[in-house]
Amino acid sequence: MNSPAVNSLEVNRLAYAYPDGTQALFGVDLTIRRGERVALLGPNGAGKTTLVMHLNGILTAGHGSVSVAGTPVRKDTLKEIRQRVGLVFQDPDDQLFMPTVRDDVAFGPANSGVSGAELERTVKGALERVGMLEVIDRPPHHLSFGQRRRVAVATVLAMEPEILVLDEPSSNLDPAARRELAEVLRSLDVTVLMVTHDLPYALELCERSLILSDGVIVADGSTRELLADTELLARHRLELPYGFAIPAPAEHG
């Protein structure tokens, strides 16, 4: 076990029931070390989104705890937590709410007090990292879906988060946009937690995967091994797409 200081994210025995009584999480335990790219796999309704909402304190733990780089998620630490956890929502139209790309990327850092030339530098830097600098002055609804998703990633990168949490990053993307986003994600030097049921995408980007099913983590291991275990996948309503075979490991060294 690593010391807590190098863990980007620690979730201990997290349980949560919605106000109507529906229990969504039944004691989730997970640890993500700094610099790791981890996929959180699970079928629809497994509690993935509920778990994600706990990571930056939109929902607060019914039982158990969440901490980000050693800071517990609590009411009094919310401001700090939200700066450290960059959440990228599934629909970029929800994420990009400002009139121009520039204003949208600036929103987070401006809220934490960055302004003037430094703000401009931060915005350009974040857009450059996702290869979207040329659309800086465009309104978000003039961009293609893939471009919008990359700008959505930039909006949280601008906050220099400890961990980037992506909710279904590959949904609605055409194959080219999917590959471009993968290239962007691979080029980033931040901790990434990718929530998805797109198994090939998880294999492509993440060494390690967790399977969340019925509100608990049921498997934690190398993505390649988990995906090779068809029985495990079937038990938790996960499936590789038709005709997909796990490529031989590390061909390209």
Partner 1 sequence: MGAGHHHQLYLAGDSVVHRLPPQCKLLAVAAFAIVVVATPRERFWAFGLYAVLLAGVAVAARVPLTYVLRRMVVELPFVLFAFLIPVIGLGERTTVLGVSLSVAGLWAGWNILAKATLGVVASILLAATTEPRVILIGAQRLRLPSLLVQIAMFMLRYMDVIMDEMRRMRVARESRGFEARNFRHIPVIARSAGALFIRSYERGERVHLAMLSRGYSGRMPMMDEISGSVGQWATALALPGMALAVLGLSAVQGLSL
CA count, 13 A, side-chain hemisphere, 134: 3
* CA proximity to 32, closest of 12, 47, 16: 12
Binding of partner 1 at residue 49 (CB under 8 A)? no
Give the separation between CA 145 and CA 174, rounded to whole angstroms. 9
Q: Pick from 29, 103, 204, 214 the residue near partner 1 by CB under 8 A.
A: 103
Binding of partner 1 at residue 79 (CB under 8 A)? yes
Binding of partner 1 at residue 138 (CB under 8 A)? no
Give the interface segment with partner 1, choosing from 25-33, 61-69, 152-160, 215-223 (CB under 8 A). 152-160
Binding of partner 1 at residue 121 (CB under 8 A)? no
Q: How far is the CB of 73 from partner 1 (least distance, A)?
A: 13
Phi, psi of 232 (to 5 degrees): -60, -45
Give the separation between CA 90 and CA 97, rounded to whole angstroms. 14
Give the separation between CA 218 and CA 211, rounded to whole angstroms. 6
Binding of partner 1 at residue 100 (CB under 8 A)? yes
Q: Residue 161: what residue type?
A: P
Phi, psi of 10 (to 5 degrees): -135, 125
Residues 169-198 that bind partner 1 (CB under 8 A): none
Give the interface segment with partner 1, choosing from 6-14, 19-27, 86-94, 216-224 (CB under 8 A). 86-94
Binding of partner 1 at residue 107 (CB under 8 A)? yes
* CA proximity to 167, closest of 42, 71, 65: 42
**Site residues (vs partner 1, CB under 8 A):** 53, 56, 58, 79, 82-83, 85, 87, 89, 91, 93-95, 97-100, 103, 106-108, 110-112, 115-116, 119, 139-145, 155-156, 159
